[in-house]
């Protein structure tokens, strides 16, 4: 319980974003009411829709406002009418980068009662967290074309790895692994056998920090092998730390083994600043407004937000409500349109468990 009022920026976004956020807020309000935690919501309409109407994506003034918030709760952004790359770069990545949200925390947890495509794997065996570097690597947007459109064309895309960026990510991962207090094993995933400069830096920093964190077992895998073991032996993992691009890819794989995009949540975290929480799924335009999308991922992102804000009681309440509901068998599938319940009914059911 805390006397503080948290100011949360809410960006419902595009497609199914608003209907998921609606359920997320419903659950957050219920849990915070029970725990006597005060939340104040500030709504922002940044989206593809707004961009098409006004030509504006995300002004710098909004970033300045965001800096005064306690956290941001994001639905989804993406509109099929906008050319790929624009909203990603100017909205989502702009927030991640300008608020220096250098960690993308993505748990891979199979809730009891949820179907996984991995035959014979149980919730005890699928329970790990991916710590994805979130502000550099191939996402830095550095590169260019030479002789574009000709048969002599050259296209470059630079992967930037800075000592500071790699080190703060690895240190966060060790600390997180220790606090999580499960297997206490941190696996670094890279491609240092081929990317012999950037990932050599990752290896050296990891070795250095491993020596200072001897209570955490350290392990190393190449990313291709990691994909293999995530499918074959997910029980090997506790915490994985990896770069931005590989983290993007393996967290989609992780989402599938935990039952699909309907349940996968993520946090873009700046441990000393303003963090942003979102479901991993996109705006899923074809389901917009149909009240069939699974809001669990967004609800779970809300729980993660409360946890990062230091309100672990509220976070725990939401997490156990999700767990209870999913184990009850009342929800038939995690997939949109197959849940046997509407988006709002699922939100109601989680709130009722609380």
Per CB under 5 A, residues contacting Mn ion are: 248
If the CB atoms of residues 31 and 240 are measured against ligand IPM, the closer one turns out to be: 240
Q: Which does 31 bind (CB under 5 to 8 A by kind): ligand IPM, Mn ion, none?
A: none
**Contacted by 88, from Mn ion, ligand IPM, none: CB < 5 to 8 Å by type:** ligand IPM
Q: Which does 353 bind (CB under 5 to 8 A by kind): ligand IPM, Mn ion, none?
A: none
Closest residue to Mn ion in the complex (CB) = 248
Question: Which of ligand IPM, Mn ion, none is residue 92 near (CB under 5 to 8 Å by kind)?
Answer: ligand IPM
How long, in residues, is the chain? 354
Whichever of 250 and 325 has its CB closer to Mn ion, that residue is: 250
**Which of ligand IPM, Mn ion, none does residue 322 bind (CB under 5 to 8 Å by kind)?**
none
CB of 168 to ligand IPM, least distance (A): 18
CB 265 → Mn ion: shortest distance, Å? 13
Residue 280: CB minimum distance to ligand IPM, A: 6
10 vs 92 by CB, closer to ligand IPM:
92
Beta carbon nearer to ligand IPM, 264 or 354: 264
In the bound complex, what is the minimum distance in angstroms from residue 252's beta carbon to Mn ion? 6
Task: Decide whether 159 or 248 has the Cβ nearer to Mn ion.
Answer: 248
Residue 93 Cβ, how far from ligand IPM at the closest point, in Å? 6
Which one, 250 or 326, has the nearer CB to ligand IPM?
250
CA distance linking residue 25 with residue 28, whole number of Å = 5
- Identify the bridge partners of residue 104 per DSSP, sorted by sequence position: 132, 268
Q: How far is the CB of 40 from ligand IPM (least distance, A)?
A: 26
CB 32 within 8 A of CB 39: yes
Binding site residues, ligand IPM, CB under 6 A:
88, 92-93, 248, 280
Of the pair 244, 294, the CB lying nearest Mn ion is at 244
Residue of minimal CB distance from ligand IPM? 88
Q: In angstroms, what is the minimal distance from the CB of 105 to ligand IPM?
A: 12
């Amino acid at each position: 319980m805390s006397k503080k009022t948290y100011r949360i920026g809410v960006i419902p976004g595009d497609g199914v974003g608003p209907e998921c956020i609606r359920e997320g807020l419903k659950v957050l309000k219920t849990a915070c009411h029970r725990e006597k935690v005060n939340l104040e919501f500030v709504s922002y309409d940044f989206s593809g829709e707004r961009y098409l109407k006004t030509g504006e994506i995300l002004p710098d003034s909004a970033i300045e406002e965001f800096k005064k918030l306690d956290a941001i709760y994001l639905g989804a952004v993406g509109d099929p009418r906008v050319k790929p790359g624009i909203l990603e770069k100017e909205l989502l990545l702009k927030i991640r980068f300008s608020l220096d949200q250098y960690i993308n925390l993505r748990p891979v947890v199979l809730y009891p009662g949820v179907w996984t495509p991995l035959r014979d794997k149980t919730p005890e065996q699928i329970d790990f967290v991916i710590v994805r570097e979130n502000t550099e690597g191939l996402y830095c947007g550095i590169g260019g074309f030479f002789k574009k459109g000709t048969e002599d064309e050259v296209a470059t895309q630079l992967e930037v790895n800075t000592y500071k960026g790699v080190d703060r990510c690895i240190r966060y991962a060790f600390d997180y692994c220790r606090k999580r207090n499960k297997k206490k094993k941190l696996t670094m995933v890279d491609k240092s056998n081929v990317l012999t400069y950037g990932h050599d830096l990752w290896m050296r920093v990891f070795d250095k920090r491993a020596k200072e964190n001897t209570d955490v077992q350290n392990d190393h895998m190449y990313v291709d092998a990691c994909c293999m073991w995530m499918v074959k032996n997910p029980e090997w993992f506790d915490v994985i730390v990896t770069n931005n691009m590989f983290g993007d890819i393996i967290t989609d794989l992780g989402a599938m083994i935990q039952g699909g995009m309907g349940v996968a949540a993520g946090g873009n975290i700046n441990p000393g600043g303003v963090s942003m929480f979102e479901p991993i799924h996109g705006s899923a335009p074809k389901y917009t407004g149909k009240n069939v999308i699974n809001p669990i991922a967004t609800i779970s992102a809300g729980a993660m937000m409360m946890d990062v804000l230091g309100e672990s009681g509220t976070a725990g309440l939401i997490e156990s409500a999700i767990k209870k509901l999913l184990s009850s068998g009342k929800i038939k599938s995690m997939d949109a349109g197959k849940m046997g319940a509407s988006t709002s009914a699922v939100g109601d059911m989680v709130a009722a468990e609380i």
